[in-house]
Chain A
Amino acid sequence: AQSVSQHNHHVILSEAASLELGCNYSYGGTVNLFWYVQYPGQHLQLLLKYFSGDPLVKGIKGFEAEFIKSKFSFNLRKPSVQWSDTAEYFCAVNANSGTYKYIFGTGTRLKVLA
C-alpha cells in the first residue's frame, strides 16, 4: 500500500535557523507531490507542489522542496525561518495512476522561537 512518512513529528527552531523537513513516500510509479501548511487557527493551504519538470520547486514564503526520485523523497527546506512559520506541515502524494486518492503524512509541528 502507498504510504507517506514524515520523520520529524515536532521541530523547534530559533528564528533565522535553517529548516529541512523530511518526506518519503512508497510508490514506484509517477507521482504528484505536495506540501500543505496549517497555520494556527487557519485552514490547510498549499505551500508548493511538484508535478513534473525541474525537481527543485519553489513555493510561497521562501519555501522550496526537492524531488529526488531515486530516494522517493520530497524534502521541504527554508534557509532562514521566521516566527510566523510556526505551523503544522503536511506532505502529500497523489499516485498518478488513474486514481485521485491523496495520501498524507502524519504532519510535522514546527515551532519557531522568537
Chain B
Amino acid sequence: GAGVSQSPSNKVTEKGKDVELRCDPISGHTALYWYRQSLGQGLEFLIYFQGNSAPDKSGLPSDRFSAERTGGSVSTLTIQRTQQEDSAVYLCASSPLAAETQYFGPGTRLLVL
C-alpha cells in the first residue's frame, strides 16, 4: 500500500506568516509522530499522537507550534508567525502501534525568509 505522504514537499514563506504542514499516515496506523530536522542536527521530536489524542507534546518548541489529528488519520502541523529559526525539514512518521517501527514520509522542507 501507499506509504506516508507529506505536503507540501517544499514551502518558502516570509517571516511572520503562518504555515500548515500536512501528513497522511499509512492507513490503519494508530501512532503518528512529527519531527524536525535542522541542518547538521538529528531528528528533534515534536509531538506524538495515539489516535486523535496527543499524549506527548513535550517537544513543541514554543506556543507558535500546534498540531492536530482528525479521524485517526491525517495530521496537520501549524506554525504561526514563522521565524527564520523554524527553517528545517519537518518529518512525519507513523507506526501500527506506539513504540513500534516507524515509517517515515519524505518530509516538508520549510524555508523562512
What is the total number of residues of chain A having a CB less than 8 Å from a CB of chain B? 23
> Are A99 and B33 touching (Cβ within 8 A)?
no
Does any Cβ of A come within 8 Å of B41's Cβ?
yes
A residues near B4, Cβ cutoff 8 Å = 43
* Stretch from A14-22, A61-69, A71-79, A104-112 forming part of the interface with B: A104-112
Q: Would you give the 0/1 interface string for B30-45, flagging 1 where the beta carbon is closer than 8 Å to chain A?
A: 0101010000111111
B76: min CB distance to chain A, Å: 20
> Are A46 and B56 touching (Cβ within 8 A)?
no
What is the total number of residues of chain B having a CB less than 8 Å from a CB of chain A? 28
> Are A105 and B42 touching (Cβ within 8 A)?
yes
Most chain A beta-carbon contacts within 10 A, residue among B33, B50, B99: B99
* Stretch from B14-22, B60-68, B80-88, B102-110 forming part of the interface with A: B102-110
- A residues near B (Cβ < 8 Å) are 4, 6, 32, 34, 36, 43-46, 49, 90, 92, 94, 96, 99-107
